[in-house]
Every structure is written in C-alpha cells, then in structure tokens.
Structure 1
Amino acid sequence: MDPGALVDREQGRQPLVARFGGIPLKRQKTAVTSDRRPPQVSFPHKELISRLLADICKICKQTDNIQVHHVRKLADLARTGDAQPDWVQLMARRRRKSLVVCGSCYERIQG
C-alpha cells in the first residue's frame, strides 16, 4: 500500500502521512484520469414554455408580439364583475393563471 505524502519527523517519532479519504495525496506520474460524462437528462418543457413556443395569441390567433398575461390566483378572475370579458372566460374555463396573447390583446386586457 502506498504511504501517500510522507513528512519525516524527528527521531523516534512516526512520519506524518497525508491522505484524503483513504486516497494517497502523493503524485502518481503514471495515473490515468478519465472524466465520466454526466448522464444526459431531458426535461420536458413546462406547459407555459410550450404555449410560448407555439407563438400564437389564444384570443385572436395573431402571431406577432406575443406576451403573457397572468393573474395572482384564479379567484381574482371572479372579481371582474357579472359581464366577464372573453379573456376571463377563457382563463377560467382552462383553469389557468396565465394566458399567451398578442400585444394588442394584452393592451386591451390591461386597459
């Protein structure tokens, strides 16, 4: 067994041996290093990312200037009153707190 990095001490005392978790810290000139490639894991897109990548407005079907409108919770949609706009109905029907819309629809929603 390799003693590791060795430091001699005064007579009558054992030499100090440096080890890291049982692995000797002495340089090994003939050592071969081989890095293992980490396993490649494919994570599925979150649903919102998939809807954004579709690049289409869910209200008017336009494909330019896509943005996301969101509410804090679905209960906030009920506060809009009796005559609910189409975007509120769409979010409530799909039970989603976010809606991918074009710039003009976003302006209309925020307005």
Structure 2
Amino acid sequence: MIARIWRGWASEATADDYQRHYETEVTDHLRHVSGFRGARLLRSQDGDEVRFTSITFFTGLADVREFAGDDHEQALVEDAARRALTRWDDRVSHHEVAVDVRP
C-alpha cells in the first residue's frame, strides 16, 4: 500500500472552509478512484495558521498515477482549496506503508 502525503496551510478564518472542501469534494472524488484505500486529514495549529496534512492511501503507484496523472508527485490543488489556503506544498511525497496497525 502507498501513502500519499501533502500539506497546506490556511488562516484561522478559512480553515473550516478547507476542511469542508476536503470532507465533501475531495473525498467524493477519491471514492471513485480505483485502488483508493482511505484518507486522513490531520489538522494542527502552526503559529497564526492552521496546517493540514492529507494522507491518502492507494493499493499501488499505478493507482496513484490514475488519480494524479503522469507527474504523480505534482500536488493537485483545486480552485476551492486555493481560495481557502494561504499556501501549500507544490509536490507530494509517496511512501510504502511498512506497518499498518488497526484496532
């Protein structure tokens, strides 16, 4: 399994807007991607901003490429996200999940 990790920052005023966007539009799109295995959105205070870390899980890199395209390390930041975020990582990282512990 592959974990795709990306970060974006929002002001306090727009952080909830980004979270709603992720909960609705992003997750709706992901549910239709072959090999999608789940997602987590982490939220933490980072000075005057809110930092979001998105971790999406896919069966393999072929599934990541189906989602992200040929340049699969390029971040996909939709217009609604760009309006809510103050800045974001342009590139994402991919990691093989070595251990997956669930209750």
TM-score range, shorter chain: under 0.3
Q: Which of the pair is proportionally richer in strand?
A: 2
Q: Which has the higher contact order (CA 8 A, sep 6+)?
A: 2
What TM-score do the two structures reach when normalised by structure 2?
0.23
From the CA coordinates, give the structure whose radius of gyration is larger. Answer: 1
